[in-house]
Structure 1
Amino acid sequence: MEYRRLGRSGLKVSEIAYGNWLTHGSQVEEDAARACVAAALDEGVTTFDTADVYALTRAEQVLGKALGGVRRESIEICTKVFWPTGPGPNDRGLSRKHIIESANASLRRLGTDYIDLYQAHRYDHETPLVETLRAFDDLVRQGKVLYIGVSEWRPEQIAAALRIADRMGLDRIVSNQPQYNMIWRVIEAEVVPLCEREGVGQLAWSPLAQGALNEHREQGAPDQQRGTLRNLAVANRHAVVRRSGQVGDHVGTVVCALCGRTVTSVPMSVPRRSDATSANTEPCVDAVERTLPKVQELLYERFDPPLVEHIDHGFVRTAQSCGPKPERPGHSSASRNTHWPSTPDLRIAMRRPHMPA
């Protein structure tokens, strides 16, 4: 395992992080989750990414128990705040009240005295940005948080936060956690150049598009493994992959190579195995032990620009038959922080300006 500095900060994170979205506390039994965490630690993973909203706060609790007994100084725990964690009007967003209360609750669930990286899970249009940044800065000064980051923020939002922090002497953002994969590369146009200039690292989530990019090799997988994807309304992405016959077995290499050269760390979710139970943890452990070495190998595999252009062309051509990204229930297009590119913008969104050799 290799370790990289997170942005321009002094914090080093493992190039492959362990994420537990949609798994711990919901689809994976607690004993299996503990076994997976232990397997990840054995492979050299030191960075663990979660959020207060995952599995309605239970994911943090499961991760905290799984990391119990591990020397705290040897790992980096990352979590997030924004989405609702309760029924009240202040149980969501990035107000001072919610940030402080959520941080204290996350600390209790994780069983730790401090959070290495505390991230704003989305941008809050209803709260003044100054209030949000001051609350994060207060947590840093109290020693409850060491570094702060954001997730799925637009470039102008990141830039505004950095300007305010510099002007007011507040703690700066050191990381951004965007979705980034072969069919969702919108960060390349503006977010990545901005972050490179400002010293903000990238922790890319969904490097395989929630399984869509390796579905062609798992056509016989049980429906339970893909049911959650349908519930999350990502059918368009699967359609693009299914209709792009040119992608083939190259996609894993290219996805990992892109991530390895653009981002600091790639949070890989726990494999969702329907045959993993409290009495049988071997399927998840085996998946972790087989996956991590292969991903590490692909992170440093060289690839030719013509191959990427070939794959891009296939995605763009087949995406023309796909409609806009479906709405999340209760969320309008005006309130979303990220957008599925329309057909005219797709080629621009997927273009990589400086493709490495």
Structure 2
Amino acid sequence: MKDQQIEINLATTRKEKPDFNNLQFGRTFTDHMFIMDYTEGKGWHDPRIVPYQPITLDPAATIFHYGQTVFEGLKAYLTKDEKVFLFRPTKNFERLNRSSARLCMPELDEELALNALKELIRVDRDWIPNLEGTSLYIRPFIISTEVHLGVSAALTYQFIIILSPVGAYYKEGINPVKIAVETEFVRAVQGGTGNAKTAGNYAGALKAQEVSSKSGYSQVLWLDGKEKKYVEEVGSMNVFFKINGEIITPELNGSILEGVTRDSIIQLLQHWGLPIVERKISMEEVYQAGLDGKLEEAFGTGTAAVISPIGEFFWKNEKLIINNGETGPLAKKLYDALTGIQNGTLPDSLGWVEEV
């Protein structure tokens, strides 16, 4: 599979590009997409770049009925000297393969997948926005396509990559968001699919998000699915707390997604010599730290938003205000460091950036 040549079929007409000053996240897509097919016994085959277009599937395709799908999210950045950078892309394809293995889906050759992504970015390079805070969002995903009504792993799949120029994920940007602690619904449980990046995890989270949004909260803080006691994630992001000088993030336990940004934050903190601990942390501990004046900062981390400071928690009908509802110095420092490395304005001392 590694040696397969990527066929390129360029669009004869091009779309009108959006105003890069007014980008909505995930609403606009580039001129082309990458597709590759999988057939049991043949493996992955026919890698190609084609004009962006709808996918035609049979109504009995297994994706619609049994949910075999995994995806990733990463970004490409245009530097001031017109270079195109990817941030730790191999980590995303490694995680895509881990997600595929959990859902009994065929794994990809990671080198081929990365080469395909780079070729697609070269084709649609002029779609990468060049304004501060903007980037080209990349969505690789795999779907099962076999025409079959029966609960078993499919025999055919498609791997697709689409691209979208984006601005900030949250309209608040780097400003703090308000978070409701979810006590009724759960995101995932150990032994389930919480550590895989699969669509069902997000569909199951929508009801809690809908309820919290109606109350004026941007996202929910997820607690563990067994005791509803320990903090796991915030919205679709990993979460960090700074308590009495120590930075704490929930340890990976099988139901928490292993975020690339999470790992990068941990490495940055260690590189700076700051105390970072991965362990179980209860909402009771977080709340008490807030009452005692020891909860200095809280923030979510993920590819889309990078760093999203948390200014308020709502839990058991009580509001807990963090750092006077303002962005903390650590969250700001981490955001500036990560985005600086990503867009080439800061040196990449940890070797994370890969040029297209």
Q: Which has the higher helix share?
A: 1
TM-score (ref. length: structure 1): 0.26
Q: Which has the higher strand share?
A: 2
TM-score when normalising by structure 2: 0.26
